[in-house]
Copies of this chain bind each other. A is one copy, B any other.
Amino acid sequence: MGFSADKKARIGILGASGYTGADLVRLIHRHPAMEIVLMTAERKAGQPIDSVFPHLAGLGLPDMIKVSEVEWPAVELDGMFCALPHATSQEVIQGMMHATDHSLLDELIIESDSDRSSQIRGNIKIVDLSADFRLRDAKTYTEWYGRDHQATNIQSRAVYGLTEMYREQIASAKLVACPGCYPTAALLALMPLLSAGVITSEDIIIDAKSGVTGAGRSLKEANLFSEVSDAMHPYGVANHRHMPEIEQELSLASGEPVRISFTPHLVPMNRGELETIYVKLAGDQSAADIRAAWQDAFAYEPFIRILSEGLAPATRMVRGSNQCVLNVWDDRQSGRAIIVAAIDNLVKGSSGQALQNMNLMLGLPEVLGLEQIAMFP
């Protein structure tokens, strides 16, 4: 493809009026090889982005239009971020594929149709930030989302976008399903350990804490300042939709079905996600072995940082950046360890990882647009 500062990839953001959309703009704005040529928003269609996000004024961005107004082939996108609500996303992506005669559709067609030339097929790279394509099993989707998936064929072609774990598949994927923010931190911490057999797959307990942006910009009493400020509480106890997604990937890593305990909490901060994970060590393994397994897995990772012993991961270390920081302690209960992981839920937990994946899909260096340091204080 060969995108560069001279020939920038043409990027669309569907659902630009949410916090995830805003953070995509923030990141892509400094990306040397991408330009945003399409932004959609339903209720705010016809308006410039700074009518909903005044801090994004003056950037030369296109006005937002409705998804239904997009002229699909004509817009000539190279990459598309889909930051739409759950359920909507699958419909829009499927519609776009048909409208652009998308090459992924080939994979869904009987071999006999071999004379179709892929060169002339649509080839927009899609990164979906919703939950729609994360669950590999249609039944699990139905169980947790209370409705049948409307695009199961496409779902089966989606690649799970946890970059550090599925880098090769992502690089050649046409549709990537970005993980939820909670799964991102949990899986980065745990998958290498299960793969290496350092911990057991039983009794994994994930106590997660998130900033309020994780709830999006929708109008709910529970997200009003006066409800959240100077306070905290858990929610979705034993019942949060990110749970099956975590279990799905941990099961793949361990080779056997994994069930977890998972409790998310709402914390009065804008950004940031911290997970404290309680695990059982396999055999006579110790925290040092966990550290070693991480070092093996992440030695060359630009966005994973294993902190020096005893230094506690803190959300302020990653605010606004695509970093994930990790550490581990031997527990006071023998045979146990305590793992702590922190990310920015809007960056590595959402828009940042989405951009990291898009870079790979477009053949660009993975870190482009993601080099900013955390903002502290």
Contacts and interface: CB of A to CB of B under 8 A. Distances in A.
A316 interface: yes
- With most chain B CB atoms within 10 A of its CB, the pick from A203, A319, A332 is A332
B226 A212 contact: yes
Contacts of A260: 332-333
B232 A272 contact: yes
Contact of A233 (B29, B225, B315, B332): B315
A363 interface: no
Interface stretch (A91-99, A109-117, A174-182, A366-374): A366-374
Contacts of A235: 312
- With most chain B CB atoms within 10 A of its CB, the pick from A232, A239, A269 is A232
B212 A225 contact: yes
A173 interface: no
Interface string A196-234: 000000010101010111000101110111111111111
B57 A305 contact: yes
B268 A229 contact: yes
A313 to B, nearest CB: 7
B233 A342 contact: yes
Contact of A274 (B225, B232, B311, B376): B232
A338 B260 CA distance: 12
Q: Which 3 A-B pairs have CB atoms at the shortest separation, nearest pair first? A: A233-B314, A231-B316, A226-B377
